[in-house]
Structure 1
Amino acid sequence: MVLQDLGRRINAAVTDLTRAPTLDEKAFDGMIKTISNALAEADVNIKLVANLRKTIKASVKFHELPPHANKKRIIQKAVFDALVDIVDPHQKEYVPKKGKSNVIMFVGLQGAGKTTTCTKLARWYQARGFKTCLVCADTFRAGAFDQLKQNATKAKIPYYGSLTQTDPVVVARDGVEKFKKERFEIIIVDTSGRHHQEDALFAEMVEIQTAVQPHQTIMVLDASIGQAAESQSRAFKETADFGAIIITKTDGAAAGGGAISAVAATHTPIVFIGTGEHLLDLEKFNPQSFVSKLLGMGDIQGLAEHVQSLNLNQKDTMKNITEGKFSVRDMRDQLQNIMKMGPLSKMAGMIPGMGGMMQGMDDEEGGMKLKRMIYICDSMTVKELDSDGRMFVEQPTRMTRVARGSGTSVREVEELLTQQRMMGGIAKKMKGGMQNMQKAQGQMGGANNKQQMAAMQRRMASMGQGGGGGGGGMPDMASLAKMMGAGGGGMPDLGGMDMSKMMSMLGSMGGGGKR
């Protein structure tokens, strides 16, 4: 995956230094050199790399550190902050207003994935209550309208385009006017892909911009663009003055640093990143969360927002956990919720320590393991589902019956019940903490949810050597459980996939009902 190797190399450099028995300035300089080489090889602009070296050195100031200073923590924070600074242009992005027409125009190179990204963004806003639509002003590429029409139909989003009108300015203007009259709130205009040397296409882009007067212009950048990112983005910036960037195809195998360089070159914020071909594979970009995932520290805020956007029904499960209970039915409900959350590899990047655990297991294999666990639960009686699982220990023949009914083995049934019992133990430990958390949320109100998640993310970042999990010295789930009042306690994994880590995280996201 794009930038995944870069993240591993940076993380390894920091971890090796902080675990070294002697931490001196020579070792510190070696770490900076390793990180700089990794960034340069990932196509990050060389000037940016040089600035990062200076920033880290200036932040640490080895000679001025007091004798008892926690050098490991200071170095980790310096690296984290310096990487955040690269991808954070400190510019505010456009925020669409409800009840008004917000016109968003897409520009970018040919083949960057604009048309697909237009539909993804429309789908993203639609899921958040906006009335969205699409306008296809790409009359240059054969099949562009058919592609947008197919994507829009699949996502159930209204669209406008023409197979006879060849002037993209006319199509764009007519489409925007039509949807404005119909009071659509998000009107996304797709335009032809172009190259900065094609003056005619650039002039056409300006004409479309003048005709539709977009509230926001977004440039779509392919993550694999490499060193050309800076010159291309500068050319687009000077002509169209785009206000945001979406980086696509981050699930590819290219270096990916060039797209990051474009942010610094144009001082423009990245607003989303495309993580796959599915319509749901679009993630809101946050500099701190991005660097956290890059360094294997997870993305708690991103996971929370993802869970909430799915409107998962967790009221019964959360009620039981608050009371210190966790039945087999709760286990099944959480398994089904995890299945709804998308590819396990995507979730793994958001959960601290989970990325390392998922290595070597593809999404198909992980998904099949989840399905087999659900088959086991579906073969149980109502009484068994609502139990704490003890009746299976007291009457082992029940396990044999369930295994036959689900087409699985007795061992798999035993492993699932072991997971469920462990989760029950965690629920008991979480009982007091969950009640306190709910009281605190009730007193502070829902408006502070983002601040609370951001505070949790910062605390996780500061935990540094939080555990010996797969995160390479970053916080593991045991640390997170303790932090949330759940106490320690690990669980046996099921074929290399520790379900409790995902489920305890999912449970911690709150009720997850409709907002």
Structure 2
Amino acid sequence: MVLQDLGRRINAAVTDLTRSPNLDEKQFDSMLKEISNALVEADVNIKLVATLRTSIKRTVNFKDLPPSTNKKRLIQKAVYDELVKLVDPHAEPFKPRKGKPNVIMFVGLQGSGKTTSCTKLARWYQARGFKACLVCADTFRAGAFDQLKQNATKAKIPYYGSLTQTDPVIVAREGVEKFKKERFDLIIVDTSGRHQQEKELFAEMSQIQAAVSPDQTIMVLDATIGQAAEAQSRAFKDTADFGAIIITKTDGAAAGGGAISAVAATHTPIVFIGTGEHLLDLDRFDPRAFVSKLLGMGDMAGLVEHVQSLKLDQKDTLKHIVEGVFTVRDLRDQLSNVMKMGPLSKMAGMIPGLGAMMGNMDDEEGSLKLRRMIYICDSMTLKELDSDGRIFVEQPSRMTRVAYGSGTSVREVEELLTQHKMMAGVAKKMKGGMANMQRAQAAMGGGNKAQQMAAAQKRLQSMGGAGAAGGPGGMDMAKIMQMMGGGGGGGGMPNLGGMDMASMMKMMGGMGGGGAGRGRR
């Protein structure tokens, strides 16, 4: 990942310092040097790095600190706060409202992922109840309209464009007028990619902007562009005066700090980050959540929002947990829900410690192991799925049949059933608590959920980078899940249906290595 290595280095520097029994100024300076080197190597502007280093040093002044001061906590907080300042322009981005046409125009360099980002953004808002559409005003690049058409069709989003009209200003105006008449909430206009030296294309960009009068202009920045990002963003800012930035291709192997420098240079908020090629690979950007993920502290609020947007069906499982029951079918449903949540690496960034627990397991390996678990469940009869698992203990031949039918091994079936037994025990213990929690949530209403989430996120951050990133040896995942609401009742929490994420990851790690044999012969 573009920013994953940066986060790992910063986190390691802070963790090494806070683990030291006798923390002194020399060690503190060494940590600052390592953080500064990591930022510079990630293409963050050297002036910004120098400012950040000076600010942290000013905050943690060893000479003026009282003896009773918790130096480790102070250093953690100083690093966190200064990194937040680095990516926070303190400017509120435009927020579309339903019931009125909101026009958003996209600008950026050619090849930055602008057209794909248009579709991702439309799909993101569509999943949240907006009536979204796309207008292709890119008449310069061959195949631009076909690409947008293909993406929009896949995402089931209405679109407008022309294969005959070559004037992008006319296409943009006609498309926006059409969708305004049809009462769309969100009208996204894609424009040609351009370079700061292409004066004609820059003039054209201004003409399109004048023709459609966008409520917001978004610049798309490729995370791999490096130091050139700042100069390019300044040129676009002077011409189009964009009000927000989307950073793309953060799943690549390049540095990515140049895009962060561009934010600081133009004082423009990042609104989203593209994390992959899939239409769902778009994360809303929040400075504090971003830095929390960077330091391995997770982003629970982002995870919950992501899960809620998927509209996962949890009714039957929650009903069973309230009754103290957890069937094999419930386990199968939760495995399917985890698959829908997206790549495990994405979840790992949101849940404190999960990245460390995954170890070297990549998305492909993790996804394969999840699928093998589902294959096991799919090879069971209805009676077996709706059972408490004892039927397999009483009739072991069923395990052999399921293993053969699912193309897995008997050992994998046994491990799945062991995991189910443990989770069923958790559900049994939670029986009374879940019922009380649901009644309390119903009494409090939706407004307090946001407050609970904010409080939980604050508690996570207060634990500091070192402890939060500790994985199995640090923060107890089960306790985090309990802190986040107990048994998954609050509208799709990360421990879906009471699932202990730590135990699930252990189970995945022992599922026979993906290519296990095809059962007993």
Q: Same fold (TM over 0.5)?
A: yes
Alignment pair present for 1:414 and 2:402: no
Overall identity of the aligned pairs, in %: 78
RMSD: 2.1
The 3 A distance-change label for structure 1 pair 216 and 425 is same
Q: Which residue of 2 aligns with 1:160?
A: 160
Question: Contact (CA 8 Å) 2:296, 2:468: kept in 1 or not?
Answer: no
What are the residue-to-residue correspondences of 1:198-213 with 2, within 5 Å?
198-213=198-213
Q: Which residue of 2 aligns with 1:470?
A: 471
Q: Which residue of 2 aligns with 1:71?
A: 71
Report the 3-state secondary structure (helix = DSSP H, G, I; strand = E; otherwise coil) of the residue aligned with 1:226: coil
Q: CA deviation at 1:471?
A: 7.7
The 3 A distance-change label for structure 1 pair 314 and 482 is closer
Q: Which residue of 1 aligns with 2:259?
A: 259
Alignment pair present for 1:496 and 2:496: no
The 3 A distance-change label for structure 1 pair 479 and 61 is farther
Q: Which residue of 2 aligns with 1:405?
A: 405
Residues 33-83 of structure 1 deviation map (CA, whole Å, 9 limit, x = unaligned): 110110011001111111111221232232333323222222111111111
Stretch deviating more after TM superposition (349-358 or 189-198): 349-358
Residues 425-461 of structure 1 deviation map (CA, whole Å, 9 limit, x = unaligned): 3334444554454344223321233332222111112
Structure 2 unmatched ranges of 5 or more: 488-499, 512-521
Question: Take 2:432 and 2:81, find their aligned partners in 1: how far apart are those partners?
Answer: 35
Question: Take 1:435 and 1:64, find their aligned partners in 2: how far apart are those partners?
Answer: 52
Question: Take 1:460 and 1:173, find their aligned partners in 2: how far apart are those partners?
Answer: 48
Q: CA deviation at 1:348?
A: 1.9
Q: CA deviation at 1:353?
A: 1.4
Q: CA deviation at 1:87?
A: 0.9
Residues 313-353 of structure 1 deviation map (CA, whole Å, 9 limit, x = unaligned): 00121222334332211111100111111222222222221
Question: Take 1:81 and 1:15, find their aligned partners in 2: how far apart are those partners?
Answer: 16
Question: Take 1:61 and 1:434, find their aligned partners in 2: how far apart are those partners?
Answer: 48
Question: Take 1:467 and 1:397, find their aligned partners in 2: how far apart are those partners?
Answer: 44
Q: Which residue of 1 aligns with 2:384?
A: 384
The 3 A distance-change label for structure 1 pair 136 and 486 is closer
Residues 277-298 of structure 1 deviation map (CA, whole Å, 9 limit, x = unaligned): 1111111111111111111122
Question: Take 1:348 and 1:37, find their aligned partners in 2: how far apart are those partners?
Answer: 25
Question: Contact (CA 8 Å) 2:296, 2:469: kept in 1 or not?
Answer: no
Question: Take 1:497 and 1:132, find their aligned partners in 2: how far apart are those partners?
Answer: 44
Q: Which residue of 1 aligns with 2:495?
A: none
TM-score with structure 2 length normalisation? 0.91
Q: Which residue of 1 aligns with 2:30?
A: 30
Q: CA deviation at 1:122?
A: 0.9
What are the residue-to-residue correspondences of 1:345-364 with 2, within 5 Å?
345-364=345-364
Question: Contact (CA 8 Å) 1:102, 1:187: kept in 2 or not?
Answer: yes
Question: Contact (CA 8 Å) 1:296, 1:472: kept in 2 or not?
Answer: no
Q: CA deviation at 1:19?
A: 0.5
Q: CA deviation at 1:143?
A: 1.2
TM-score with structure 1 length normalisation? 0.92
The 3 A distance-change label for structure 1 pair 146 and 357 is same
Question: Contact (CA 8 Å) 2:356, 2:469: kept in 1 or not?
Answer: no
The 3 A distance-change label for structure 1 pair 478 and 406 is same
Question: Take 2:187 and 2:85, find their aligned partners in 1: how far apart are those partners?
Answer: 32
Q: Which residue of 1 aligns with 2:11?
A: 11
Question: Contact (CA 8 Å) 2:353, 2:468: kept in 1 or not?
Answer: no
Question: Take 1:135 and 1:489, find their aligned partners in 2: how far apart are those partners?
Answer: 42
Stretch deviating more after TM superposition (163-172 or 67-76): 67-76
Q: Which residue of 1 aligns with 2:271?
A: 271
Question: Take 1:204 and 1:472, find their aligned partners in 2: how far apart are those partners?
Answer: 57
Question: Take 1:370 and 1:481, find their aligned partners in 2: how far apart are those partners?
Answer: 20
Question: Contact (CA 8 Å) 2:453, 2:484: kept in 1 or not?
Answer: no
Question: Contact (CA 8 Å) 1:297, 1:471: kept in 2 or not?
Answer: no
Q: CA deviation at 1:383?
A: 3.0
Question: Contact (CA 8 Å) 2:295, 2:469: kept in 1 or not?
Answer: no
Q: Which residue of 2 aligns with 1:506?
A: none
The 3 A distance-change label for structure 1 pair 65 and 106 is same
Question: Take 2:42 and 2:469, find their aligned partners in 1: how far apart are those partners?
Answer: 28
Amino acid at match of 1:159: Y
How many pairs does the alignment contain?
A: 497
Alignment pair present for 1:197 and 2:197: yes
